[in-house]
Amino acid sequence: MNETSDQLLTTRPVAESWFGRFQVVALAALTIVAVIGKFYLPRLIPNTEWLELPLLLTVYFGLMRRSPIASLFFGAFVGLAEDSLSPANIPIGMYGITKTLVGYFAASVSLRFNVEASFLRMVLCFFFYFFHAFFYWIMRRALLGQAVPFDPPETFVHGALNALIAIPLFAMLDRMKLAGAS
Amino acid sequence: MEALLSRYRNLTVLLVVVVAQLLYLAYQVRTNRDERLIRVWAVTAVTPMAGAVEGIRRNTIGFLQDYFILLDVREQNRKLKSDNDRLRLENVYFRNQLRTAEHASALILFQAQSPSKTVAARVIGNSTVATAKAVFIDRGSTSGIEKGMAVVTPDGIVGKVVAVYPLVSQVLLITDPTFKVGVESQKSHVHGVLDCGGGKCIVEQIQNEDKVSAGEWFFTSGEDRIFPKGFPVGTAVSVQPGQGMKDVKLNLSGAPAGVEEVLVVLQGVHQPIPTAQVAEETAVKAMPAPPPEGVDTAAQTAKPQTEADKVLEKYDTIGKEQNHVYGAYGSAVPNFNLKPGSGPAQIAQTQTAPAQTLQSQPQSSSTAGAAPAPKKPETQPAASTATLGGTPVPKASTPAKSTANGPVLPLGAPRHRAVAAPPQASSPPPSMPQQ
C-alpha cells in the first residue's frame, strides 16, 4: 500500500502542493470553526444537530490529502476536540476513535478513486456519515453499555442532508485551495 | 518484523492510534473518572466565544425592534418574562402546599419547610454529540452550582447538572437516552421511571394492576435523588396494558429541547404531590364567569394575569377601597369578603351585615381556571380566606403594596405588632421560595 500511495501521490502534485502551502493556522481555524459550529449552531439555527461539520472536514482532508497517516491523525485530533465538549457521561475518545477510522478510510479510498467528482464525494460523505453514526452507536452500546437508540431511517436522511451540504462546502474549500496555490 | 511494519506502516499507525484511544477510554471507564483537565480547557476556550456570539445574536436580532420599532419593549418583556417565570414557580409551590391539607396544616408546612433555592441561568450552547441531549448554561461553580443539581423551569423539569466548570455548567436533558427520572402519579401515587430516550417519553416499571388513567398528572417522586418531590413532569397521553408492565406515554409539561432560560435548584425542598386537579395551561382557554350586573366589566376584561396575580390585585383593590395599608401599624383589618369595586356605602352596609351581603354576591372574579371555587360558609369571618385556583387560600398571603401612607413590606411580611384578627390571619405568613 505504501508503494501504491507513493506512486499516486507523485501523480497528483496539485493537491499535494495545496496541502504543502496550506497553513497549519488555517487548518486549525477550520477545525475550531467546525467544532464550535457544532457546539453553537443548534442555538443559532434550531434543528441542525444533524449537521456534522467536523466529520465533513475530516472526510475532505482525507480525500484531498491522500495520506492515511496524516488523515487518521487529523481525524483523531478533530474527534478528541469534539469529545472534550461532549457530555460528561461520555468519556473522551469515542469520537476520536470513530473519526480516526473515518480519516484513514477516506484517505484510503482517495488512493483508489478519483475523488474530484462531486457525485462521488456526495456518495462518500453519505457513506461515511452512516458509518460514523453506526460505529459510534456500536461503541456506546458495547464499550459504555449505554442503551441508546439508533434510528436507521433518520440516519439515512441526515446522511443525505450532510452529503448535500458537502457539495458546496467542498467546492468552497476547493476555491480556498486555488487561492492558496496562486 | 521491521520489514513487516514498514510494509504495513499505515495500518500499524492506525492500530496504534486506535488502541491508544481505546486504552485511554478503558482507563476512564474503569476508574469512573472524568478527564476534567481536558474538558475544562476545552470548555473554557469555547464558551467565552459561544457566550459572545450568543450575546451578539441576541442583541443584533432585536436591535431594530428595540431601538426603532419597539424601543425597549423587548427588554421589558424579557424582564417581565423572567418575573413571570419566577412567580409561576412560586405559584406552583404555593398550590402544592395549599392543596395538601387544611389551612392550619398548610401554614405549618410553610413554616416547617424551607423553600427551594434556585439560580437562573441561560442556555448558551449545545453538546457536540448529536444523539446526546445536553446543553451548556452560563452559570458555574462560582454561582454555587454543583454536579448533580436539578434543572427546572416553571413548566416542568429540564435535566441535571453533569459537569461544572468555573463559569459554565453542562446540563444533561431528561430527553437524553441515558437519563431516567423517578415519577409518581397524582391520583393513585403509582411510582414509575420516566425514560425519554426513544423520542417519546414512557413511564416504565408500572404494573398492569396499577391504576393509571390517561390525562393523569405525573410528578417527580424524589427517589432519583435529583429532582425534589412534587415538581410537575407531565400528563399521561395514553395508557395501555403491556406484557407485565403498562405502556404509559407521557407528554412533558416542560420543553427541555427548546428551553432558553432555566432554574438550577441549589437547595431542593420536597413537596407533597398535590391531590387536587392541576391547572393545565392549554391552548383552549375558557372564558371566565360573567360578571354580576352593575359591575364595570371593562376593568375586569383587560387582565391577562395568573391566578396569583388576580388574588394580589384583588387584595390590593380591597385594601385601597377600605383605606387599609398592608403592614402598617394600627391599620384596621379589611373585609376581604367584599367584592372589589364596591362603593364605600356598600362597604359600610356589608360590614354591619356581612352574612347577608355574602349571600347576595356571586362568585368572586379571583376564582380563575376551570375549577369552580368552593362555597365558603356564609358566616365565615372577614379576612379569613380567598380562593386560588379553586383552593382556599389563607389570608397570610396578602400582599403589601407601596403606598404613601405606610411602610412598604414584601408579600406576606409580618406586621409590626400582632393585630387582633381571626386565627388564620394572625398566623405567621409562609416564606417565599427564594430566587
Q: Which of residues 126-145 of A touch B (CB under 8 A)?
A: 133, 136-137, 140, 143-144
Q: What is the pLDDT of residue A181?
A: 37
Q: Which of residues 22-51 of A touch B (CB under 8 A)?
A: 35-36, 38-40, 42-44, 46, 49-50
Whether B379 shows a pLDDT value over 50: the answer reads: no
Regions of chain A with pLDDT less than 50: 1, 8-10, 178-182
CA distance A182 to chain B (A): 32
Q: What is the pLDDT of residue A43?
A: 75
Torsions phi, psi for A142 (to 5 deg):
-80, -45
Torsions phi, psi for B116 (to 5 deg):
-70, 140
Could you tell me the CA-to-CA distances from B283 to B70, B180, B232, B300 in Å, in that order? Answer: 27, 29, 18, 21
**Residue B190 · residue B211 · CB < 8 Å:** yes
Q: Which residues pair with B134 in a beta bridge?
A: B172
Percent of chain B at pLDDT exceeding 70: 60
Neighbours of B418 (CB within 10 A): 8
Sequence-distant (6+) residues with CB within 8 A of B272 are B96, B97, B100, B109, B229, B230
B10 in A contact zone (CB under 8 Å) = yes
Most confidently modeled range among A163-167, B244-248, B286-290: A163-167
Whether B131 shows a pLDDT value over 80: the answer reads: no
Q: Do A88 and B8 touch (CB under 8 A)?
A: no
Q: Which of residues 352-411 of B touch A (CB under 8 A)?
A: none
Q: What is the pLDDT of residue B245?
A: 84
Q: Any idea which of B111-125, B260-274, B292-306 has the lowest mean pLDDT? A: B292-306
Q: What is the pLDDT of residue B161?
A: 92
Which of B333, B312, B201 lies closest to B255, judged by CA?
Answer: B201
The number of C-alpha atoms within 13 Å of A30 and in the hemisphere containing its C-beta is: 20
Percent of chain B at pLDDT exceeding 90: 4
Average pLDDT over chain B reads 69
**Burial zone of A31 (CB within 10 Å; 0-12 exposed, 13-18 middle, 19+ buried):** buried
The amino acid sitting at B190 is V
Reported as a single tens digit per residue, the pLDDT across B381-408 is 333 333 333 333 344 333 434 444 444 4
- Alpha-carbon span B192 to B185, nearest angstrom: 8
- Most B-contacting residue of A4, A43, A157 (CB-CB within 10 A), to test interface: A43
Average pLDDT over residues B235-251: 85
The DSSP output letter for B209 is T
Q: Do A100 and B125 touch (CB under 8 A)?
A: no
Q: What is the pLDDT of residue B320?
A: 80
- Alpha-carbon span B34 to A92, nearest angstrom: 8
Which of B107, B135, B109 lies closest to B122, judged by CA?
Answer: B135
The amino acid sitting at B33 is R
CA distance B2 to chain A (A): 14
- Alpha-carbon span A175 to A12, nearest angstrom: 17
Q: Binning pLDDT at 50, 70 and 90, where does residue B132 land?
A: confident
Nearest-by-Cβ selection for B163 from A68, A69, A88: A88
**Where do the DSSP E strands lie in B83-210?**
117-126, 134-137, 150-153, 156-164, 169-173, 180-185, 191-195, 201-204
Neighbours of B133 (CB within 10 A): 24
Q: Do B14 and A87 touch (CB under 8 A)?
A: no
Give the H or E element holding residue B220: strand B217-220
Q: What is the pLDDT of residue B432?
A: 41
Give the H or E element holding residue A75: helix A68-83
Neighbours of B209 (CB within 10 A): 8
Q: What is the pLDDT of residue A108?
A: 92
B198 in A contact zone (CB under 8 Å) = yes
Whether B310 shows a pLDDT value over 50: the answer reads: yes
Q: Do B21 and A49 touch (CB under 8 A)?
A: no
At residue A36's C-alpha, the angle toward residues B63 and B79, to 5°, is: 35
- Alpha-carbon span A60 to A75, nearest angstrom: 11
Residue ranges covered by each domain of chain A:
2-181
Reported as a single tens digit per residue, the pLDDT across A84-116 is 888 878 888 899 999 999 999 999 999 888 888
B52 in A contact zone (CB under 8 Å) = no
B178 in A contact zone (CB under 8 Å) = yes
Sequence-distant (6+) residues with CB within 8 A of B435 are B86, B118, B119, B120, B263
Average pLDDT over residues B117-126: 82
Q: Do A2 and B128 touch (CB under 8 A)?
A: no
Q: What is the pLDDT of residue A97?
A: 94
Whether B153 shows a pLDDT value over 70: the answer reads: yes
ipTM of the complex: 0.80
Residues constituting chain A: 182
Partners of A143 on chain B (C-beta within 8 Å) are 25-26, 29
Q: Do B14 and A100 touch (CB under 8 A)?
A: yes
- Alpha-carbon span B435 to B430, nearest angstrom: 16
